[in-house]
Amino acid sequence: MNNILWSLILLVMGMALAPLQRGVINRVKARMAGRTGAPLLQPYFDLYKLLWKGSVYSETTTMIFRAGPVIGLATALGALFLLPFGGQASLIHFNGDIILFVYFLGLGRFFTILAALDTGSSFEGMGASREAFFSALAEPALLIGMGALVCCTGGLSLSQVYNQLADMELTGFWGPSILLTAASFILVYLTENSRIPVDDPTTHLELTMIHEVMILDHSGVDLALIEYAGSLRLWLFGSLIIGTLFPPLFSYTIINATIAISGIMALSMFVGILESTMARLRMLHVPRLLTVSIVFSLLAMLWSLTHDTNGPSNPLVRNFHQPPSPILKNVNAAVRNTSSSNDENIPTNQLIKEKRLP
Amino acid sequence: MSDFLLILLILLNFKILSSNRIGASIHDVAIQAFLLGALGLFTEWNNLTWHTTFATGISILLKSIVMPLLLFRALKTAEVKRSMEPVVGPIVSMLFGVVALFASLWVAKKIPIKDSTLMACAIFTALTGIFMVVSREKALTQVLGYLIMENGIAAFGLVTAIREPVLIEMGVLLDIFVAVFVMGIMVCHINREFDHMDTDQLSQLKDF
């Protein structure tokens, strides 16, 4: 009962603190430019203002245009219900909810693209096609990275994975896999939230917009829903990264939650610094960056699948005697049980090692 | 921490595969040679002799300092544009790198040796080098690919030659020295004759 209460509290805290990330990003950007900047709570004031405004709907749009923002917010909230935070399991967790999580976010993006195409405007069509291309490249990175984490920890549900990451040291046996996955997730975070170096969120030229142009025609309550869903997506992807880099090490939930929230705010500050120091990449070079994130994820997964269980031969180097994860143990046991003769049950490595000359 | 060294080596290979800049790639090859030398010293820490240390020091000196200096000098005298101009783009090169890594990990698992990850890294480096030789047009980048291949072979020697790893090092160094020497002269002559370093155009039968 206590756990469910904590999950509910953390869920509500996520919903409440999500727009603060945008405030932090804008404040950091303003400070780095030498200005004072808007107050930290400005996104809340903007959302409140937008809720009072009316909307103008074009005559070329159909019900998809009105459904887009609503489905965007609904999918973001659905993914939030599946997200573990601060070492607590999510409110709803089951085996395989990783796939549901990724596809919730994909569904939200799909309906945003559809709503943009529904307006019939050429700028929005252009932005929609670019957005579809970039997120089609980012999705394998996210899924394969999740696969690498599953191989490391052996849990099949998002909550299990992120809970067991607390037992893994970053310099230990699975360290390289976890760090590579974190690096890949940071690039996916920048892509899915349309940040520099993939997209400039402050540009006012429609030819250079990717995400902003898709929401150009929305106004009033629709725009408030879209902005809030955008903040929730920042929170979702941020928690994925912070869960790997600052795992829940302590036994008190409140300390873990505080560490996680400060980690997400630190990530927002990092995004602010990145946006102030870098320009957006040329549109032709963005696929290269996304392929790099796919390569990081693939490397993490290949590493966790084929890494040597015996360490290197040098005793000065730390010998990692941590046993392989339960998932690999089950797979190995299944493979061993299906082989017919007795000699094949011993892996080849150990056979040859015993016969090696000293 | 040899795990992190191996990951760093694999990532360096990917960096070279996806890069468009010759200067940065030469620096990467130098770093790769230094890391491999350090890894060699590391694995031999228990029975370190003056012989081993001296040979490793010579190989690091030659591969990390002297070769890049020669290559940079060749770059400067030939006055080429410092971009790679690959035949296949950076994305396809990176995807090839993934396939090559998968293949080398699979092959290394089949070979009955204790440290199969280092073996996989060695085979992957050699495959990267061969791919660089094949898929880049400029003569200088082909030399670079050859150097990467020799790095991979030296790493392979680290894993398999338990008694005398430095013997393979010496062979590799001789190979590299002759190759860079010959290639350097060739590059200068090609450039002087044709005003460019594009090996694709060497098969045209024109006089000027």
Residue of B nearest to A180 (CA): B7
* Average pLDDT value over all residues in chain B: 83
The share of chain A scoring above pLDDT 70, in percent, equals: 84
Q: What is the pLDDT of residues A250-272, one digit of tens each?
A: 888 889 999 999 999 999 999 99
Residue of A nearest to B118 (CA): A312
Q: What is the pLDDT of residue B109?
A: 85
B interface residues, A as partner, C-beta within 8 Å: 1-4, 7, 10-11, 14, 18, 42-43, 45-46, 90-91, 94-95, 97-98, 101-102, 105, 109, 112, 114-118, 120
* Average pLDDT value over all residues in chain A: 84
Measured CA to CA, the distance from residue B89 to residue B87 in angstroms comes to 6
Which has the minimum average pLDDT: A84-93, A112-121, A171-180? Answer: A171-180
Q: What is the pLDDT of residue B38?
A: 85
Residue A347 has pLDDT above 50, yes or no: no
**Which residues, in sequence order, are bridge partners of residue A88?**
A85
Count of beta carbons in the 10 Å neighbourhood of residue A194: 21
Measured CA to CA, the distance from residue B154 to residue A265 in angstroms comes to 46
Q: What is the pLDDT of residues B143-172, one digit of tens each?
A: 889 889 988 988 888 777 766 666 777 777
> In terms of DSSP H, where are the helices of chain B?
2-18, 22-43, 50-60, 67-78, 90-110, 116-135, 139-160, 165-194
Chosen for mutation from A292, A351, A357 (greatest number of chain B CBs closer than 10 Å) is A292
* B1/A318 CB distance under 8 A: yes
| Ramachandran assignment for A86, one of left (phi > 0), alpha (psi -120 to 50 degrees), beta (any other) | left
| Residue A350 touches chain B, beta carbons under 8 Å | no
> Residue B43: which of B143, B125, B115 has the closest Cα?
B115
Residue of B nearest to A349 (CA): B112
In chain A, residues 104-143 whose CB comes closer than 8 Å to chain B: none
Q: What is the pLDDT of residues A264-311, one digit of tens each?
A: 999 999 999 999 999 999 888 899 999 999 999 999 998 888 765 554
Q: What is the pLDDT of residues A189-219, one digit of tens each?
A: 999 999 988 888 888 887 888 888 888 889 8
Tokens of A356: 């090696």
pLDDT band at A28 (very low <50, low <70, confident <90, very high): very high
Measured CA to CA, the distance from residue A108 to residue A70 in angstroms comes to 9
